[in-house]
Chain A
Amino acid sequence: LAKTTQPISMDSYEGQEVNITCSHNNIATNDYITWYQQFPSQGPRFIIQGYKTKVKNEVASLFIPADRKSSTLSLPRVSLSDTAVYYCLVGGGNAGNMLTFGGGTRLMVKP
């Protein structure tokens, strides 16, 4: 199973761009990289998924270098409501693959 490593916590201020990096050195060829957001007392919520290069949606961007051994989630102009735990997952390329969550990054957005 591909293991992921993320910073335990990060602080930011409202209106700033936040970049959270995840390392996954043993990512497999058919693995995708996925990021989730979790608020207290709720289940995780899918944010974005990518395989290589850059992916962007209405809430975030995901940057993946050519070697795919790391990825960076970018949240533009964060607000207080972005305070949450963010998880990076690697896997899911084939039916039958297990998806494992790491410890996540606790993002605190301050006013």
Chain B
Amino acid sequence: NAGVTQTPKFQVLKTGQSMTLQCAQDMNHEYMSWYRQDPGMGLRLIHYSVGAGITDQGEVPNGYNVSRSTTEDFPLRLLSAAPSQTSVYFCASSYSDRLGEQYFGPGTRLTVT
């Protein structure tokens, strides 16, 4: 059981480039979410999904897109990277009836220059 996996671990982008952060879980969790964490700060919710084919916006969705074509995968796409998107990105998953008990991936550290 790998839990929640994220790739890549580190990424450097130039302003204006696009990329996709990958997230996968093998626990058959319905609920998945993406957070970003800036240095010394708490986590902010970007997007979440309550099941395949269903996504919704969190607190800070601008500049990001998500899709959920399968239960296992929940990729996060940066459309046109900006320096303000430099952050650590965490993906998490849980059962839909236990949303508070989320399992987090190891994170992707993204730098936009």
A, B: real partners: yes
Seen from chain A, the residues whose Cβ lies within 8 Å of a Cβ on chain B are: 32-34, 41-46, 49, 87, 89, 91-104
What is the size, in residues, of chain B's interface with A at 8 Å between Cβ atoms? 30
- List 6 A-B pairs, Cβ < 8 Å: A46-B103, A87-B43, A89-B100, A98-B59, A100-B59, A104-B42
Seen from chain B, the residues whose Cβ lies within 8 Å of a Cβ on chain A are: 4, 30-31, 33, 35, 41-45, 48, 50-51, 56, 58-59, 90, 92, 96-107
Chain B proximity of A76: nearest CB distance (Å)? 21
Q: Are A101 and B97 in contact (CB under 8 A)?
A: no
Q: Are A103 and B45 in contact (CB under 8 A)?
A: no
Q: Are A43 and B105 in contact (CB under 8 A)?
A: yes
With A42-B106, A43-B107, A44-B43 as given contacts, are A99 and B59 in contact (CB-CB < 8 Å)?
no
With A95-B97, A97-B99 as given contacts, are A43 and B33 in contact (CB-CB < 8 Å)?
no
Chain A proximity of B47: nearest CB distance (Å)? 10
Q: Are B107 and A92 in contact (CB under 8 A)?
A: no
Q: Are A100 and B45 in contact (CB under 8 A)?
A: yes
With A43-B90, A91-B99 as given contacts, are A98 and B104 in contact (CB-CB < 8 Å)?
no
